[in-house]
Amino acid sequence: MKNIKQTLITLCCLAVLFIICYFFNLQGSISPNNAALLKSEPDKSIQLEPKELFNETWSLIKTSYWDDELNEQNWSRWKKHYGDKIKTEEDAYIAINSMLASLNDPYSKFLNKNEFEEQNSTIDSKIYGIGVNIASAAGKIYVINVIKGAPADVGGIKAGDMILKINGNDVKGDNLFQAANYIKGSLNSLVEIEILRGNEKLTKKIKRAEIKIKTVEAEALTKDIGYIRIISFISSSTPIEFIEALNKLDDTKALILDLRGNTGGLFQNALFVANIFLDRGDIVRVIGRNGHNSAYVAENKDYVYDKPLAVLVDGESASASEIVSAALKDNNRALIIGTKTYGKGVVQKVYSMPNNMGLNLTIARYLTPSGRDINKKGIEPNYRVEITKADFENNNDSQLNFAKNILQNEIERSKIAAKEH
């Protein structure tokens, strides 16, 4: 077999070039959450007066939003409504986001300078936080992993802790997105977290720092079964990290791909990962403004991972995670295990705006290879396996164990079939 790493590096370069050249001939970025992002650099030389900034954004939305009816409204009413009321950048920021809210689209948002810088930093894997991975069960937020040496680790947060409050905000019943937003913040700022450990309530004050993370983790669970977890598709380094993970597990006979808690990321990263597992067939179909239809198909290549594959998903697996999961499910390439995914079937472009600001704007929706629209519906797994509160408390990953058993049985059947021949 050819060296996997060298082959996949070549594929990675080709995939990125393909996306940049082909996706609606767009320049800039495509966004998730978030959805699918290609990073864009702001033109810091362009500075506009607040009213001009509003007018330029108004025009961009009118001509580029995926729904040319703009949620069945007369878009001109926004110019009439704000008229000469916009005097400051803050006025423009509020007016533009109010205008976007009328689209009833939670993914289209205008970003001020700080928000845009934070988004671009995330693409570069520069995360400001405390270094924890969280999950939800029965409406409660749990810490499932603490990055060694990160502020949370130093501050005494442990895997299995239930988070009760973040900066005084009760997170019971909150989704992971909201809890994560409470935890995130500016560099060196403090976050106060109240946790429940056993029967003891503890309060920890932790200083946020830059968390140097890898978006891909890999290990051999047994001599036969490999495990790759993609934490996020948002980093530009994810394809290379994925290559390294596959190379590390070359000697295993089957693979578990864990996309649980993965809320999305770069569109081209989703295409790249799905393409590695498919030798033919559609990956995703993107429907743009005025019905413009683009199919992304698995490319011919020297290397395809063709061993048994299981994919773990949950209610926070969104966007890019759903593109990969649906492509593998619809092409009968993998068994999907876990719970129904989030249901985000739209794609955003990230525009660099004047005054160092940005705009995440929905420019398309996508369909799975079988033609399903998963937006607000999600993807049903082949095997529905819940993680219960007892599983968290006993550190039992029932979904992972189910996947291991499924793959081990498939490996044993293959061994028997090989002997018979």
* Greatest alpha-carbon span in the chain: 82
Helix (DSSP H) and strand (DSSP E) numbers for the chain: 12, 20
Task: State the Cα–Cα distance between residues 29 and 269, nearest whole angstrom.
Answer: 13
Q: How far is CA 399 from the centre of its chain?
A: 20
pLDDT score for 125: 57
Per this entry, what is the length of the chain? 421
Task: State the Cα–Cα distance between residues 269 and 280, nearest whole angstrom.
Answer: 18
pLDDT score for 15: 39
First to last CA, the chain: 23
Task: State the Cα–Cα distance between residues 59 and 393, nearest whole angstrom.
Answer: 53
Please compute, for residue 401, the number of CA atoms within 13 A of its CA located in the half-sphere on the CB side. Answer: 8
Task: State the Cα–Cα distance between residues 310 and 325, nearest whole angstrom.
Answer: 10
Which segment of 132-141, 230-239, 338-347 scores lowest on mean pLDDT? Answer: 132-141
Give the pair of three-digit tokens for residue 164: 């009760």
Q: Is 249 helix (H, G, I), strand (E, B) or coil?
A: coil
Task: State the Cα–Cα distance between residues 78 and 144, nearest whole angstrom.
Answer: 45
Tell me whether residue 319 is exposed, middle or buried, using C-beta atoms within 10 angstroms of its C-beta: 0 to 12, 13 to 18, 19 or more: buried
**Can you say whether the dihedral through the CA atoms of 242, 245, 246, 247 is positive or negative?**
positive
Task: State the Cα–Cα distance between residues 13 and 7, nearest whole angstrom.
Answer: 10
- Asked if 259 contacts 325 with a C-beta cutoff of 8 angstroms, the reply is yes
- 9-41 residue pLDDT tens: 444 443 333 333 333 322 223 333 444 444 444
Task: State the Cα–Cα distance between residues 397 and 227, nearest whole angstrom.
Answer: 13
Query: Which has the closest alpha carbon to 167: 181, 147, 148?
Result: 181
Cα angle vertex 345, ends 14, 280, to 5°?
40
pLDDT score for 130: 92
Task: State the Cα–Cα distance between residues 93 and 99, nearest whole angstrom.
Answer: 10
pLDDT at 199 > cutoff 80: yes
Which segment of 27-31, 257-261, 327-331, 403-407 scores lowest on mean pLDDT? Answer: 27-31
- 279-327 residue pLDDT tens: 999 999 999 988 888 899 999 888 899 999 999 999 989 999 999 999 9
Query: Which has the closest alpha carbon to 225: 194, 252, 250?
Result: 252
Residues with catalytic function:
319, 330, 344
pLDDT score for 28: 28
pLDDT score for 421: 64
Q: At what angle do helices 238-248 and 267-277 cross, to 10 degrees?
A: 20
Which segment of 1-5, 104-108, 213-217 scores lowest on mean pLDDT? Answer: 1-5
- Asked if 299 contacts 268 with a C-beta cutoff of 8 angstroms, the reply is no
Q: Pairing mode, if any, of strands 254-258 and 225-230?
A: parallel
